[in-house]
Structure 1
Amino acid sequence: MCWSCNPYCGGCKPPKPKPVKCPSCKTFTFPEFTHCKKCGAKLPEPPKPEPVLCLYIGEICTVPCNKHKRTPDDGVTGTCSCHTPADSN
């Protein structure tokens, strides 16, 4: 466990999307916005994470944290409060 949480780390919960660089004025903007706050240019779509098989819970997760890389210490698959199931579409 960390002493203080870095929201971009992804160690214990899914990482936050990183800021997007505006192609026009080169400033960074949060990915929640579709247009740059400084110049108003349309921002590129942030890349979507690749779904992976989470070894911790034994299911596919679309926004994995770093717990997906290892099995539980006791060998029994557990539950994850951050599990993001794949869309059924």
Structure 2
Amino acid sequence: MASIDEVRAGISLANEKASESVGALQQAHAALEEAQAMLLQVTEGSGQDDVEEANGFVAQALGAVADSQQAVKAAIAASEGVANRL
């Protein structure tokens, strides 16, 4: 069985990796926002149903990325709580 210090160190390392993923998710969110703006601009006035669907999917992806960021941040906070109680 791992010692308390080993568990704390493992949690710290896991949180570092999770924090890196938050940064990557922020970059993904920014890129999707740019894509959404471009798509909206170039498809403005189009009557095709696919255009609305495509824009909806991008908006859905933005929401999923934001939800993922929040979930990772919550996981970090929860694991920090575990480490603090050790």
Question: TM-score, normalization: structure 1?
Answer: 0.28
User: Greater helix percent: which structure?
Assistant: 2
Whose Rg is larger?
Answer: 2
Considering Cα pairs closer than 8 Å and 6+ residues apart, tell me whether 1 or 2 has the greater RCO.
2
Question: TM-score, normalization: structure 2?
Answer: 0.29
